[in-house]
Amino acid sequence: MPTKPTSTRAQQKAIQKADTLIEALGWIRRFRDTTTVIKLGGSVLEHPDALRHLLLDIVFMTTLGMRVIVVHGGGKAISRAMDSAGIEPRFVQGRRYTDEATLAIVERVLATDLNHELVARLEEYGGRAMSLNFLSTNVLFGERLTLEGPGGESLDLGHVGDVTRVDRLTIDNLAYAGQVPVIPSMALGADGHKLNVNADTAATAVAAALGADKLVVLSDIPGVLRDVNDPESLIHSLSASEARRLIADGTIAAGMIPKIEGCLETLARGVGKIHIIDGRLRHSLLLEIYTTSGVGTEIVRDDVRTAVPPASTAAAVG
């Protein structure tokens, strides 16, 4: 009977890399020609090394045939620019009040400087990307947003809005051509005035309008934990009904409640899955999408179940 050949340590490392690629093969096949919207938040934008790896992940995903759309915020960069301009930030129920001076800074920092920088870096890393902002082609349209005060009164937020319409055709055409549309979280009102939009709200609107297969929320938390003090208690997959039960029994609490409720609303609008992952983890996008266990929490509609890639792929490993 032939003996199994021995291998060096270097060869073993190479074999492990090959095994990883084989594990990814089933997921690569499944997600080719699917649409993923990625919400890139300020917390990730503040970590240069993490951002570099995330942008490399996006280039890798498009190279494998996925259609990727990036919707980004930039709250911390806006706050720094306001501080430099001597403008004191004002918040109403946690939302930034946007007057004329603040709006000008938001447009310059978020919709122009940061938006163009993200596109330039994606192209630097070998991808193809396009800015969709007020200087090129705007794709988000909205109306002013008001909040209800404690006494039922209407609270004005200035030039803050909600997205009411998305130019799906423009985004689709770019994505199908292999480009990454990069969209800042600003919208144009019917009166021609520009509006500052919450990045989560903007990403949800884009994902719903496109009928996206996935919405990935890059955050500074690993996902949903059964015990907030134990990172090993990460829940890798939840159905919408399971997520509601965890809210009801207090497992999901405090600041995670509005985030998960937003995810459930997004699922109800037709998006297949939502992934919450820690964007600061190196190559977190690839690890979440192209490995069996993932590194974050996926939340799916009750009629959607995650299936393992074909058995022939799994059998090929090892």
State the pLDDT at residue 302: 85
Lowest mean pLDDT among 69-78, 201-210, 309-318: 309-318
At position 150, the amino acid (one-letter code) is P
Strands 129-131 and 180-184: parallel
Q: Does 281 score more than 80 pLDDT?
A: yes
Instruction: Measure the CA–CA gap between 164 and 125, rounded to whole angstroms.
Output: 34
Which two structure tokens, joined as six digits, stand for 104?
Answer: 């000008």
Domain count across the chain = 1
Q: Does 33 score more than 80 pLDDT?
A: yes
Please count the other Cβ atoms lying within 10 Å of the Cβ belonging to residue 178: 13
Read off the CATH number of the domain in which 205 is found.
Answer: 3.40.1160.10
Secondary structure percentages of the chain, helix, strand, coil, to 5: 45, 25, 35
Residue 154 host element (H or E)? strand 154-166
Residues 6 or more apart whose CB falls under 8 angstroms from that of 103 comprise 158, 159, 194, 196
Tell whether 161 is covered by a domain. yes
Instruction: Measure the CA–CA gap between 286 and 64, rounded to whole angstroms.
Output: 11
Give backbone dihedrals phi and psi of 73, rounded to 5 degrees, phi first.
Answer: -105, -150
Instruction: Measure the CA–CA gap between 199 and 177, rounded to whole angstroms.
Output: 25
Contact 202, 210 (CB under 8 A): no
Q: Does 313 score more than 60 pLDDT?
A: no
Tell whether 175 is covered by a domain. yes
Q: What is the mean pLDDT of the chain?
A: 88
Computed from CA positions of residues 78, 84, 90, 94, in that sequence, does the dihedral angle turn out positive or negative? positive
Residue 131 host element (H or E)? strand 129-131
pLDDT tens figures, 251-261: 998 878 878 88
pLDDT tens figures, 162-213: 999 999 999 999 999 999 999 999 999 999 999 999 998 899 999 999 999 9
| Global confidence as pTM | 0.88
Task: Find the mean pLDDT for residues 104-119.
Answer: 96
Which residue shows structure tokens 């706050």?
79
Tell whether 196 is covered by a domain. yes
Tell whether 129 is covered by a domain. yes
Tell whether 20 is covered by a domain. no
Please count the other Cβ atoms lying within 10 Å of the Cβ belonging to residue 33: 10
Domain holding 80, by residue range, is 33-316
Tell whether 186 is covered by a domain. yes
Tell whether 144 is covered by a domain. yes
Tell whether 9 is covered by a domain. no
Burial 188-226 (b: 16+ CB within 10 A, else e): beeeeebbbbbbbbbbbbbbbbbebbbbbbbbebbbbbe
Give backbone dihedrals phi and psi of 43, rounded to 5 degrees, phi first.
Answer: -65, -40
pLDDT tens figures, 237-251: 999 999 999 999 999
